[in-house]
Amino acid sequence: MNHTGALVSARGLTKIYEGPPEHVAVGGIDFDVRRGEAFGFLGPNGAGKSTTMRMIGCVSPRSGGELTILGHDAARDRRTIKARLGSVPQDDTLDTELTVEENILIYGRYFGLRRDVIRERTDRLLEFARLTDKRASRVQDLSGGMRRRLTIARSLVNEPDLLLLDEPTTGLDPQARHLLWERLFRLKQDGVTLILTTHYMDEAEQLCDRLAVMDGGRIVAHGSPRELIERYVTREVLELRFPLDRHEQAAEKARGIGERIEVLPDRLLCYTSDGEAALEEAGRRGLDPLTALVRRSGLEDVFLTLTGRTLIE
């Protein structure tokens, strides 16, 4: 059952929440996460990302399929697996009545670590999360972003081989996000395998070696960010905005520009290998946009192409 060299391997992995009404949250997915890589699940609300993460974290039993983690069956060897995992759930699970330091201590004790070992690691973890001066503060006095950083620091107390991060940067300000990316990058260089979920395209592009795009409980595409962009979209995009009352009429007129047109509620996207040429063509057709922008395609466009929906609403 051990798929070659994969740290995590799923085949036909399924999760059905028993109802009523019965709900298929994950509908039979296959993926392999290789040692040392950063693997991302990208998808809209309700796609099944957290459910998948919880199954990998051994806190949600699968309903069907196979799931092997670190060479062990996720249903059978939960303790062994969990001892080597770091886990950052989507909802914070910090104890708000305890201090920053105590949260790490209690959590470390759950792994059976000795107090002096935990104390020694706490110094480094707090520095990692830039919370050293908050050491004795109660968690209820921390900001949301600080709590997130503490949850991430805490998840490293057992020096995990595999770190699960469910929307690690949601709620962080841009500076904290970039700091965290840098820290995660460093962890990866130290050999920690990362699995993360995100709504953010830039995060996925920056952090992930490979991605699985999820929608409605299924993986609709996977590959590296670059592969996905090359496979599913043209090199450039022309974005046109019109006054709302002329929006539909303009969409009609624009038909046929570039290889494909995507009509969003607030703008038109023309997928093309040459954005400038498309813009000229639009001018020839008498289109008079409020704004026009030529840019390179990104994961957002991949997602739109695959699902017909934008990721961030």
Length of the chain: 313
Tokens of 101: 């330091």
Is residue 83 close enough to count as binding other proteins by CB under 8 A? Answer: yes
The whole-angstrom separation of Cα 160 and Cα 153 is: 12
Instruction: Give the integer Cα–Cα distance in Å for 23 and 216.
Output: 11
Based on the shown chain and the rule CB under 5 A, indicate whether residue 224 belongs to the binding site for Mg ion. Answer: no
In the bound state with other proteins, the residue whose beta carbon lies nearer, of 54 and 210, is: 54
Cross-strand pairs, 23? 17
Query: What is the DSSP code string of 138-159?
Result: BGGGS-HHHHHHHHHHHHTTT-
Question: CA nearest 270: which of 281, 283, 257, 287?
Answer: 257
The CB-of-262 to ligand ATP minimum distance in angstroms stands at 22
**Under the criterion CB under 8 A, does residue 112 sit at the interface with other proteins?**
yes
Closest CA to 27 of 267, 270, 218: 218
Binding track over 72-111 against ligand ATP, x by CB under 6 A: ------------------x---------------------
For ligand ATP, which is the closer residue by CB, 137 or 310? 310
Binding test (CB under 6 A) with ligand ATP, winner from 1, 3, 12, 23: 23
> Could you tell me the two tokens for 33?
């996460």
Q: Which segment (41-49, 152-160, 178-186, 256-264) binds ligand ATP by CB under 6 A?
A: 41-49
Residue 46 binds to ligand ATP (criterion: CB under 6 A): yes
Q: Tell me if 79 contacts other proteins by CB under 8 A.
A: yes
Q: How far apart are CA 214 and CA 27, in angstroms?
A: 11
Rounded-to-integer distance, Cα 74 and Cα 250, Å: 53
The residues that touch ligand ATP, with contacts defined as CB under 6 A, are 17, 23, 25, 43, 45-51, 90
The residues that touch Mg ion, with contacts defined as CB under 5 A, are 49-50, 90
The residues that touch other proteins, with contacts defined as CB under 8 A, are 17, 57, 59-61, 78-80, 82-83, 85, 87, 89, 91-98, 102, 105-107, 109-112, 158
